[in-house]
Amino acid sequence: MSLYRNRQSFTPASGDAANHVVGSGTARAGLTEFCISSPATPVEQMGQYRVARTTTAGTTPAGNTTVVKDDPLSPAAGCTVGGGGYSTEPTSGDVLGEYSVHQKAIFRWVAYPGRELRSLPASNNGIALIVVAQSAAFAIDTMVEWME
């Protein structure tokens, strides 16, 4: 089992995929952890976020597409990653969780071992952390970690 991660920093619009891990015919992602925080000046604002399976890859991610290996001896990732908004967002499928997070909070979700949230085993299917809405636009930092 190998672990990989990706980080995004951006000011999202409603419906933007903050982080999107896209599988292939040979690699399936299992979300093990994610974190949501904000570097913006703290005020009383809320964001709604969703973790969902996706059935398309989306086009032209605007954010960081770098995959970071937790262990330098791990093989290259079989999944790709994008986020920070897309010109065409990925198509959402099964909703795996919904979370409301205050802008002043740091929210971290960690899967119990063996209970990772899994993508479907097919090309261009993935799993995404999606911004559903914000009470007012504010910058966020997000991080996802997955296993293959």
Assess contact for 143 and 35: CB atoms under 8 A.
Answer: yes
**Domain boundaries in the chain?**
3-147
Which pLDDT score, from 0 to 100, does residue 1 have? 77
Which pLDDT score, from 0 to 100, does residue 134 have? 97
Residue found under tokens 């908004």 = 85
Which pLDDT score, from 0 to 100, does residue 23 have? 92
- In sequence order, what are the residues at sequence separation of 6 or more whose Cβ sits closer than 8 angstroms to the Cβ of residue 93? 52, 53, 54, 55, 120, 125
Q: What is the mean pLDDT of each run of 10 residues along the chain (148 residues)?
A: 94 96 92 98 96 96 95 94 95 96 97 95 94 97 97
